[in-house]
Structure 1
């Protein structure tokens, strides 16, 4: 699974865990910032892994979901100890 698909899957999982529809999530994103370019169609493509979002968009989605950005971008890879 590539990173776009993983991010999309993470967003959808967080959204459904929060009990939100795509429309409700878009409304929350719009409440955070004007002119985000995120509408229901874009969000659908994002969740399907067909979009390459900006960091700003990912941050807004995470904020609207009330989750850390790392939860959205987590690729499931095991990190070696630092």
Structure 2
């Protein structure tokens, strides 16, 4: 997916553990772990808002667009 979550970077900058953030946001550590690893297909705006408030950051500090390499075009048959 071209959207990359950099939540782990922000946690390190704020010297906060995942467990503490999960408790303060009101989500499970398992869900936070999925969010950190990028294995989610979406995030609720209210959850993102709480994360930003606790980490004192902007959504753009946690999300990055990385399109990656373009898929190869199939070769035409002769």
TM-score w.r.t. the length of structure 1 is 0.67
Structure 1 partner of 2:2: 2
User: 4+ runs of 1 displaced by more than 3 Å?
Assistant: none
Between the two proteins, the alignment pairs up a number of residues equal to 66
> Structure 2 stretches of 5 or more lacking a match?
68-78
User: For each residue in 1:27-54, what CA deviation from the matched residue of structure 2 results, as whole angstroms up to 9, or x when unmatched?
Assistant: 2213xxxxxxx21000000000011212
Residue 11 in structure 1 maps to residue 1 in structure 2 = no
1:10-29 correspondence runs (5 A): 10-29=6-25
Taking only aligned residues, the RMSD between alpha carbons, in angstroms, comes to 1.9
Based on CA coordinates, which of the two structures has the bigger radius of gyration?
2
Give the C-alpha shift of residue 55 in structure 1. 1.9
TM-score w.r.t. the length of structure 2 is 0.70
Q: Which protein, 1 or 2, shows the higher relative CO under an 8 Å CA cutoff with sep ≥ 6?
A: 2
Relative to total residues, which structure has the larger helix share, 1 or 2?
1
> Structure 1 stretches of 5 or more lacking a match?
31-37, 78-82
